[in-house]
Amino acid sequence: MTSYSSHWKKNLANVSAVLLLLLMTGAFWGCRTPVMTQSETFISGKITRNISYASLPRQVLDVAVPQDINPQTPWVLMMHGGAWTHGNKRWIGSIQRMLLKNGIASVNINYRLAGPKSGYREQLEDITLAVAKMQEIRQYFGQTTGRYFVLGESAGGHLALLHGYQHATAVAGIVSLSGPTDFYTEEYYKGPFFRLARRVIEEITGGRYDQPNDTAVFKQASPVAQIAPVPTLLFQGTKDPIVDSSQGLTLARELQRQGMPYKLVLMQGAGHVPRLLPWKRPAIYREIRNWITENASR
């Protein structure tokens, strides 16, 4: 019994030494790239679901690669809505399918939901991690890691705008569908969105509206205060009961004042997320496709 234990310990020591040598030389990590392992399931013309881009359960994405992918194929990173506190990438799955049918590659992500330990900053961190994964996937398909588009709906539109403006040299264009843009101006305080969303905005930013010194916190979280020269496509319903029309109009006016490239699609009589209405959807999808095509070579 003693002899067996001694022999086992000796072998374990030898194995440990070999593993340590492999780790030091890097040979052990020859298959460490997640994309190279998971890419076996990628099929052009199909959507591959729930690819991990980081270690947490929510940090997964769906990849859609066109059948005829080529070096000029544009890529879009997509963020769902849900008031920052809930939601799922499935909610914008129809947009991803539309892009795929039109020869546009996309990555549709879940991200950490806002709560006691995370807010919009952590969600932006997740987007950055997802971008890194997307660029790895592009390399696997023989593309250089060029510029990409960001698209978001509702709270996802807010995140898309912030990420796009904060990474202006890397982002070819932004699409925001009913996304909030302003958490701090006088017009915001007068509008219904302030009364409706005050508590959740405080939650995701860590600020308090009853603390005057926190104005900078809300300004930092507002796309209207972070504008950069990135082509921006905005969809805004005039009868949106959640993200009221002043949100889209405020950003559009500031983009115009600064001479930035943008287009505001002001949808008369439409409420929140009008693409959910079948008779509105074709026009919205056409605008998205055209915007991506026009700015893909920027």
Which of 85, 87, 139, 122 minimizes the C-alpha distance to 108?
87
The answer for residues whose C-beta is within 8 angstroms of residue 55's C-beta and 6 or more apart is none
Per-residue confidence band for 13, with pLDDT thresholds at 50, 70 and 90: very low
Neighbours of 107 (CB within 10 A): 25
pLDDT at residue 172 in the model: 98
Of residues 71 and 38, more confidently modeled:
71
Residue 48 class from Cβ within 10 Å (0-12 exposed, 13-18 middle, 19+ buried)? middle
- C-alpha closest to that of 63 among 154, 152, 136, 159: 136
What percent of the chain is predicted at pLDDT more than 70?
Answer: 86
Residue 110 CA to residue 50 CA, distance in Å, equals 9
Question: What percent of the chain has a predicted confidence (pLDDT) above 90?
Answer: 82
**CA dist., res. 8 & res. 282, Å (int):** 68
**Average pLDDT score, the chain:** 88
Q: How far is CA 150 from CA 14, 35, 68, 157, in A?
A: 50, 21, 22, 9
Predicted confidence (pLDDT) at residue 279 exceeds the cutoff of 90? yes
What is the CB neighbour count within 10 angstroms for residue 34? 15
DSSP letter at 39? Answer: G
**Pairing between strand 47-52 and 60-64?**
antiparallel
Alpha carbon separation from 148 to 93, 106, 167 (Å, rounded)? 19, 9, 10
Would you state the pLDDT for residue 8? 34
Number of H helices, E strands in the chain: 10, 8
Q: What is the tens place of the pLDDT at every residue in 130-139?
A: 999 999 999 9
pLDDT in tens, 51-97: 999 999 999 999 999 999 999 999 999 999 999 999 999 999 999 99
Residue 227 three-state SS? coil
pLDDT in tens, 214-262: 999 999 999 999 999 999 999 999 999 999 999 999 999 999 999 999 9
Q: What is the dihedral of CA 61, 66, 69, 74, to 10 degrees?
A: -60
Instruction: Say if residues 200 and 84 touch (Cβ distance below 8 Å).
Output: yes
Confidence band of 42 (pLDDT split at 50, 70, 90)? confident
- What pLDDT, on the 0 to 100 scale, is given for residue 44? 82
Structure tokens at 149: 């588009």
Cα atoms in the Cβ-side hemisphere of radius 13 Å centred on 113: 11
In this structure, which amino acid lies at residue 61?
L
Q: Which whole-number Å values give the CA distances from 93 to 96, 97, 298, in the listed order?
A: 5, 6, 26
Mean pLDDT, rounded, for 114-124: 96
Comparing 99-108, 118-127, 142-151, 250-259, which segment has the lowest mean pLDDT? 142-151
pLDDT at 196 over 80: yes
Mean pLDDT of 273-282: 94
Reported pTM: 0.86
